[in-house]
Amino acid sequence: MVAIVDSLWEAASFVPGDRVKTQRGSTSGIVVRVLGDGRVAWRPEQTEIELLALPESLVRVKKGQR
């Protein structure tokens, strides 16, 4: 139960520069900005495009992980 609450708190606290990946782990990238409505603008690795996502659909990548 504690892990679930911790993951929800972590999802709500993205900041520009955070490394993230999708829930399924298929794509990773970096947070560009957090929009006023709570969505996260992020850029997948090796691209110039910017994607929008709900914070619940992204997972922060901790240092040393990939």
Tell me the average confidence (pLDDT) per consecutive run of 10 residues in the chain, 66 residues long.
62 85 92 94 96 92 71
Per the domain annotation, does 66 fall within a domain?
A: no
Question: The CATH number of the domain where 35 resides is what?
Answer: 2.30.30.30
Residue 25, pLDDT score: 87
Per the domain annotation, does 65 fall within a domain?
A: no
Residue 63, pLDDT score: 73
Q: How far is the C-alpha of 66 from the C-alpha of 62, rounded, in Å? A: 8
The total number of structural domains in the chain stands at 1
* pTM recorded for the entire structure: 0.76
Range of the domain at 19: 2-60
